[in-house]
Amino acid sequence: MHLKTALLLIFIASPAGAGVTDVSLDNGLRVIVKEDHRAPVAVSQLWYKAGSMDEHNGATGVAHVLEHMMFKGTEKVPEGQFSKRIAAAGGRENAFTNRDATVYFQQLQKDRLPIAFELEADRMANLQLKDESFAKEIQVVMEERRLRTEDDPQAVVYEQLMSVAYQAHPYRRPIIGWMDDLQNMVPQDARDWYGRWYAPGNATLVVAGDVNPQQVIALAKKEFGPLAGKPLSLRKPQEEPPQRGEKRITVKAPAKQPYLLMGYHAPRLSDVEKDTTPWALQVLVSVLSGNGSARLTKHLVKEQRIAADVAAGYDGINRGPGMFYLEGVPSEGKSVSELEKAIRLEIRRIQKDGVSEEELNRVKAQAIAGDVYQRDSVFYQAMQLGELATLGLPLDLLEKRVDMLKAVTADQVKAAAKLLTDDKLSVAVLDPQPIVGAPRKPAMEIDHAR
């Protein structure tokens, strides 16, 4: 289902341990180094604070299109050579775009970091953006949209729900962009985007692994230091106005299974000293679906058998507004509305009776363990630091996060659940349409015993 990876990212988050170095170069580039000497490798991630939320109507998807174009060459490093050179050094590399940021990364043996820095610094300033490269790559992006959105009914539901749940905030627009915008995008859209956001002062370089921080910083100064700083575009807050009542949509798509997705506007983490609600909402997610005995799973999947699958999720550590999600697939013979009713009943029960100490302790035990397990991945640790830096949150939150979760009380979870009111809710339902042409599968045949 849709939310699972996002959930994991938010929830298993926590301490990076000691050994984080954080400096800024004169041109504004922030450099963060996390030492981890378990294996002789390093990851380098360059985070640009430019995601789909910074786009304007008519050019949705341009952040992601530019991400693709960043591999299309500079004067010094012609098209195709970026990937070739990283590969020749034994590296792995890719990039991703989300609502808040665009991130480029390389994983390499530790002593091969210079090649990554050299190439990243070059394309931060010298991208060519040729018309003919653009013409081909925009086709690739449209294929990506067909693959990941158009032909995935649950992805279509998510896209439609966001476009309804938010009226003003740019989170209403899909990261990959509307197909019509992609069809009408021109190279100049990508050039404008590159000119506006690709600058040292809008970027954070995160390196994690078996490295010496002073050497990494010296290397960053050598490669990125000469790039000129430049003023950044003004960002408008684009706050979402208060919702004035429940919203509800139906999405028709060829499918065999109905699907329900619900989203409540919810607070996001902004003041790390004072905010407790975002942590309480994370605990609530875990109480609802964080393990095989969590409430939604236990009651709706295992006991009542209303749902084939059900999950909760919370996006609360973002640049933009927060949202609390619930999603599920009804069991055969059960309707989406029965499932929705059952989910809402579970929420009401927590609003009324709260959660038990036992549930709370279970969630905390999972958080403490998850905090240890995530140390197994250097890449993940770098992800956490890049995300915090891009959001302007203190880096020591990595270490404090587990303590924040441990400090959550049952009363705070109950109070957080009370924020999930009907007036803040948007509901999307997938109404499956026949898959024309596909052979009809026979219903399950049960061999009756005697």
Partner 1 sequence: MRAKQFLSSLFACLMTLPAWASVDIQHWTTPQGARVYFVENHDIPMLDVAVDFPAGSRLERAEKNGVAALTHAMLDQGAGGLSDIAIAKRFADVGATLGGIFEQDRAGVSLRTLSSARERDIALALMLTVLHKPEFPESVMRRERARVLAALRDEESRPGEIAQKAFYQALYGNQGYGLPPSGTAKTLGRIKRNDLLAWYRARYRAGDAVISIIGDMSRADAEQLALRIAVGLPQGSSAETATGSAAMPPVEKRITHPSAQSHVLMGQVAIARSDADYFPLYVGNHVLGGGGFDSRILEEVRQKRGYAYSAYSYFIPMAQPGPFLIGLQTKNAQANDALKVARETVARFVAEGPTEAELTQAKNNLVGGFPLRIDSNQKILGYLRAIGFYRLPLTYLDDWGKNVEGVTLEQIRDAFKRRVNPENMSVVIVGGNAG
Place of tokens 């349409």: 433
Q: Which is nearer to partner 1, 153 or 213 (CB)?
A: 153
Site for partner 1 in 119-138 (CB under 8 A): 135-138
**144 lines the binding site for partner 1 (CB under 8 A):** yes
Q: Which is nearer to partner 1, 21 or 366 (CB)?
A: 366
User: Which range in 95-103, 197-205, 222-230, 289-297 contacts partner 1 by CB under 8 A?
Assistant: 289-297
Taking CB under 8 A as the criterion, the residue among 78, 140, 167, 250 binding partner 1 is 140
**88 lines the binding site for partner 1 (CB under 8 A):** yes
Q: Which is nearer to partner 1, 372 or 407 (CB)?
A: 372
Smallest gap from residue 205 Cβ to partner 1 (A): 20
Taking CB under 8 A as the criterion, the residue among 168, 218, 372, 407 binding partner 1 is 372
SS3 of the chain: the string is CCCHHHHHHHHCCCCCCCCEEEEECCCCCEEEEEECCCCCEEEEEEEECCCHHHCCCCCCCHHHHHHHHCCCCECCCCCCHHHHHHHHCCCEEEEEECCCCEEEEEEEEHHHHHHHHHHHHHHHHCECCCHHHHHHHHHHHHHHHHHHHHCCHHHHHHHHHHHHHCCCCHHHCCCCCCHHHHHCCCHHHHHHHHHHHCCHHHEEEEEEECCCHHHHHHHHHHHHCCCCCCCCCCCCCCCCCCCCCCEEEEEEEECCCCEEEEEEEECCCCCCCCCCHHHHHHHHHHHHHCCCCCHHHHHHHHHCCCEEEEEEEEECCCCCCEEEEEEEEECCCCCHHHHHHHHHHHHHHHHHHCCCHHHHHHHHHHHHHHHHHHHHCHHHHHHHHHHHHHHCCCCCHHHHHHHHHHCCCHHHHHHHHHCCCHHHEEEEEEEEECCCCCCCCCCCCCCCCC
* Identity of residue 48: Y
Site for partner 1 in 255-284 (CB under 8 A): 255-257
User: Which range in 58-66, 250-258, 272-280, 311-319 contacts partner 1 by CB under 8 A?
Assistant: 250-258
Site for partner 1 in 27-46 (CB under 8 A): 38-41
Q: Which is nearer to partner 1, 19 or 40 (CB)?
A: 40
Smallest gap from residue 382 Cβ to partner 1 (A): 13
Smallest gap from residue 89 Cβ to partner 1 (A): 6
Query: Known catalytic residue: 303?
Result: no
**18 lines the binding site for partner 1 (CB under 8 A):** no
Burial class (CB in 10 A: 0-12, 13-18, 19+), 90: exposed
**225 lines the binding site for partner 1 (CB under 8 A):** no
Taking CB under 8 A as the criterion, the residue among 47, 48, 71, 325 binding partner 1 is 71
**309 lines the binding site for partner 1 (CB under 8 A):** yes
Smallest gap from residue 25 Cβ to partner 1 (A): 28
Smallest gap from residue 84 Cβ to partner 1 (A): 6
**369 lines the binding site for partner 1 (CB under 8 A):** yes
**375 lines the binding site for partner 1 (CB under 8 A):** yes
**4 lines the binding site for partner 1 (CB under 8 A):** no
Structure tokens at 29: 């580039």
> Distance between CA 247 and CA 20 in Å, rounded?
45
Cβ atoms 168, 241 nearer than 8 A:
yes
User: Which range in 20-28, 121-129, 363-371, 407-415 contacts partner 1 by CB under 8 A?
Assistant: 363-371
Q: Which is nearer to partner 1, 136 or 348 (CB)?
A: 136
Mask of contacts with partner 1, 397-436, x by CB under 8 A?
Answer: -----------------------------------x--xx
Taking CB under 8 A as the criterion, the residue among 126, 293, 337, 421 binding partner 1 is 293
Place of tokens 């407790």: 276
Q: Which is nearer to partner 1, 143 or 246 (CB)?
A: 143
Cβ atoms 74, 122 nearer than 8 A:
yes
Smallest gap from residue 315 Cβ to partner 1 (A): 23
Cβ atoms 280, 297 nearer than 8 A:
no
**370 lines the binding site for partner 1 (CB under 8 A):** yes
User: Which range in 192-200, 214-222, 224-232, 295-303 contacts partner 1 by CB under 8 A?
Assistant: 295-303
Active site residue ranges? 67
